[in-house]
Chains A and B, each alone.
Chain A
Amino acid sequence: MAKETRSKEQVKATSYWQDISRQFRKNKLALVGLVLLLTIIILCAGAPLFTSYDPVTDMELMDMLLPPGTQGHILGTDDCGRDVWSRLLYGGRTSMLTGLVVALLASAVGILVGCVSGYFGGLIDNLLMRVTDIMMSFPFLVIAIALMAVLGSSQKNVIIALAIVSWPQFARLTRSQVLFVKEQEYVEAAQVAGFGSCRIIFCHILPNCMGPLVIQTTLSVGGAILSAASLNFLGLGGDATLPDWGVMLNQGRSYMQNYPYLTTIPGIAISLTVLAVNWIGDGIRDAFDPKLRA
């Protein structure tokens, strides 16, 4: 009898990450988001497979401003006669890559600051947290816009400006996690064993703080795509030839009266992508939350 129960338990036993992945798969909206995002990524990453036009150089002024549904141009053409579908696919590469790089850069810096601050405490902690507080009391986009004004317009600078303004929230979050984890016995054990601070932080503490950090990173990808689109829309980002959803919106704005599809199409693309990312982020958050488990 006892043997039987044990074998049942063994069958049921799942690891932490398996649990989370099972919870995630139960969430329908998150799955829809995942499928949607994967479709968008496949379309954009494999752009040459789905369109024969070059997004920048294939200009045909005879064919400019053709409406969507025209033969050969499924979403029409823009004011320079470039294929909108092709610019949309290649533009997705820029927009999504920007969002991803901003989120990764900001989380890397924030996690480093948060770890150091939380683990060492004392004066370093005080100093770093003051800086973080001050950074967090800036109005986000206002500072990004001011930074863009001095750094100059380029897609690289959009990434730098957005990463500079978004790392503090990661630092805060990491610090609070580290403060909790470092009191655990296994960390004490590692300290007693004489491991270096670096090894303790990155091998023992950080892996146990990953849950909330993964959620925060996912959600901030969506935010970064939106902010980058705003900067590009204002004309502060990459140059006008660059295929990017924000740049496309900026160009479409001049033709809003007669050719509204130049505005609506890239906007829908941004919204769908960010929506998919947010659904996935919400799904991950719910999957990590033990209170929501049935």
Chain B
Amino acid sequence: MRTYIIKRLLQAIPTLLVISFLIFSLLYITPGDPVLIMLGTSDNQTMTEEEYQAAKHDMGLDRPMLARYGEFLTGALRGDLGKSYITDEDVFDTIVSKMPATLILTLAAILIALMISIPLGILAAIRHNSIWDTLATFLATIGTSLPKFWFGLVLIIFFSQNLHWLPSQGIAYPLEDGWLAFFRHLILPAASLSLGLAATQTRMIRSSMLDVLGQDYVRFARSKGLKERAVIIGHAMKNAMIPVVTVIGSEFGSLLGGAVVTETIFSWPGIGRLAMNSINKRDYPMIQGNTLVMCAIFLTINLLVDIVCAWLNPKIRLDKQ
């Protein structure tokens, strides 16, 4: 087990290096002069050659790219991602302060998705080829076909504007505003973000449950005279959940991407909205830092998922050694 973890950790290093290099070079593959981009195009009209060179030197752009990448990387490892061009705030601190909101939103979305998909997927599997099965598969296809952000807008139109039940904007914190306000603010954005995951998970749980229900040990449990409920919950479900955990890992990336859109719609103060704001203001250090942090979160989650899977299923860790 320890060898497996070490191996997976070592594998993550080149990935992180490539990601950080790509993100670092994003600014330099842009058509146009990075100095002018960083200063904002309006500044170049009044700039003399000396001022331009001075600005270039200040930004360190007169040194070779690899040296600058090295600095970016060592900085990033120390939690120093530079300063925002617009607000002059520390990029890393800003991201850290916005992180809890995004984590709350994505975790709530995962919870909602599981609450919908586990019963629906299991129902579809144990009533295979029945009307329930058709209905669950049908709903899952619709869920993957709706644009998440549009679903969010429809939720706002329906629950906020027509029924006035739930707020459509902003966040509330449980300690300051009370738990009720917290949940009332959370429910619409989390529901809209959970849509895609709920749909993929329903399909996943259905097919993995169908697989497991055909196995010998399930037949054995049944022939032992166990009640159907005990067979499903005690025997089948545990093993059917392994692919589900893997899917959560790989879908986490699309949750982070979805969070950018969802947070923009619901004015949710997380890193997704921060990304959009910094893109609109062309705040490059913030864009770079934000993308890097999102990728790092995604990699970490997938690493954890792999380790959990290896722990659940000895075949995986023995195969790869």
Chain A residues engaging chain B, CB cutoff 8 angstroms: 130, 133-134, 137-152, 222, 226, 229-230, 233-236, 249, 253, 256-257, 260, 263-264, 267, 270-271, 274-275, 278-279, 282
Contacts and interface: CB of A to CB of B under 8 A. Distances in A.
B242 to A, nearest CB: 20
B150 A270 contact: yes
Question: Lowest 6 CB-CB distances: which A-B pairs, in order?
Answer: A141-B257, A139-B253, A267-B150, A275-B145, A274-B145, A149-B279
Contact of B260 (A141, A235, A270): A141
Interface of chain B: mostly helix, strand, loop or mixed: helix
Contacts of A274: 144-147
Interface string B21-62: 001001101110000000000000000000000000000000
Interface of B: 14-15, 18-19, 23, 26-27, 29-31, 141-142, 144-150, 153-154, 156-157, 161, 252-254, 256-258, 260-261, 264-265, 275-276, 279-280, 282, 287, 291, 294-295, 298-299, 302
A11 B125 CA distance: 39
Given A271-B145, A271-B147, 11 more contacts: A137-B302, A139-B256, A140-B254, A142-B275, A230-B147, A233-B149, A249-B149, A263-B154, A263-B157, A274-B147, A275-B145
Nearest to B142: A275
A137 B299 contact: yes
A264 B280 CA distance: 26
Contacts of B150: 229, 249, 263, 267, 270-271
Contacts of A148: 279
A263 B157 CA distance: 9
23 contacts: A134-B19, A137-B19, A137-B302, A138-B298, A139-B295, A140-B253, A142-B260, A142-B291, A145-B276, A146-B287, A150-B26, A150-B27, A229-B149, A230-B257, A233-B147, A233-B149, A233-B261, A234-B260, A234-B264, A249-B150, A260-B157, A274-B145, A278-B145
Contacts of B23: 146
B261 A142 contact: no
Contacts of B18: 134
Nearest to B276: A234
Contact of B253 (A142, A145, A234): A142
A224 to B, nearest CB: 12
A230 B252 CA distance: 17
A171 to B, nearest CB: 16
Contacts of B252: 139
A234 B145 contact: no
B307 to A, nearest CB: 15
Contacts of B27: 150
B260 A145 contact: yes
A139 B145 contact: no
Residue with the greatest number of chain A CB neighbours at <10 A, chosen from B147, B153, B256, B265: B147
A233 B152 CA distance: 13
A119 to B, nearest CB: 25
B252 to A, nearest CB: 8
A139 to B, nearest CB: 3
Given A137-B299, A271-B147, A145 B153 contact: no
Contacts of A133: 15
A145 B156 contact: no
A23 B112 CA distance: 37
A263 B161 CA distance: 13
Nearest to A136: B250
Contacts of A137: 15, 19, 298-299, 302
Contacts of B26: 146-147, 149-150
A236 B260 CA distance: 12
Nearest to B161: A257
Contacts of B254: 139-141
A48 to B, nearest CB: 27
A144 B31 CA distance: 17
A141 B19 CA distance: 15
Given A138-B295, A150-B26, A229-B147, A263 B153 contact: yes
A260 to B, nearest CB: 5
Contacts of B256: 139, 141-142
A249 B151 CA distance: 12
Contact of B153 (A130, A144, A152, A253): A253
Contacts of A147: 26
A150 B29 contact: yes
Contacts of B264: 234
Contacts of A275: 141-142, 145
B291 A151 contact: no
